[in-house]
Amino acid sequence: MPLTSTDDIVGPARANTSGVGAFNVVQLEHAEAIVAGAELAQLPVILQVSENTVRYHGGLAPIGLASLAVARAADVPVAVHLDHAESPGLVREAVDLGFTSVMFDASKLPYDENVAATREVTDHCHRAGVWVEAELGEVGGKDGAHAPGVRTDPDEARAFAAATAVDALAVAVGSSHAMLTRDAVLDFELITRLREAVPVPLVLHGSSGVGDTDLGKAVTAGMTKVNISTHLNKLFTCTVRERLEASPDVADPRKYLGPARDAVASEVARLLGVLAGV
């Protein structure tokens, strides 16, 4: 299955009131696990590489090209997405490498500056046929728009989407990044209002903190692209820890990274089913 446009995955899902899983790649094993899970579920998936991960690897090309290679070898539709990029230069590099979408995060800027910067990025990406996600309010922080009581306003979201011409919008509805427990309280009524107000797919960030039942409710209410990272990283790390504790003399990293990769693949398959309602 060739590398797939993000719009060809997210667009039909929105039309069918279904959810799409977008999972973050930190190292090659993550990309392999996520695609293996999608193949198990026989459902499309989005691989995401964040700007933080780019810094970890010292550049986009090593992890980006690896993710693209894994995507191109898949037997289900796989898109490759740049997540939470604050640098327009990094966005341009992702476009040049062949990423199918980017998430440009200018949310720390004042509203008018956010609009102007995002519109410039959107224009560049659209000329290259690349799908663009943005966010309104500081969804990307550990608190920001996810601090208690902070929510995205539907009228402002509608105006922002129109002014920037983005293809998807990340909104704050009660989830929070990097949660280790799955007990976030989502505002489903607000999700429905946002779905009615905004003509592009909505994106739920911080979904690691949301339980299965509420993930399904969020999709039914209007969320389409659902980002999950910490939940899988927690599972990956716990599996590695268990293997090392069971075999403290092991030297070959494949002996503990392989089982961690398999565990993540199984969970990805399960989560994709939850989001797709199957």
Round to whole Å and give the CA distance between 226 and 9.
12
| Catalytic residue of the set 83, 105, 167, 214 | 83
**d(C-alpha 88, C-alpha 82), whole Å:** 11
- 87: tokens are 């640098």
CB 144 within 8 A of CB 107: yes
Q: Is 79 helix (H, G, I), strand (E, B) or coil?
A: strand
Please state, in angstroms and rounded to a whole number, the distance separating the CA atoms of residues 10 and 81: 12
Q: Which residues contact 3 (CB under 8 A, 6 or more apart)?
A: 68, 71, 72, 78, 79, 80, 98, 100
Q: How many CB atoms lie within 10 A of CB 192?
A: 14
End-to-end CA distance of the chain: 22
Cα separation, 22 vs 20, whole angstroms: 7
Q: Is 8 annotated in the active site?
A: no
Known catalytic residues? 83
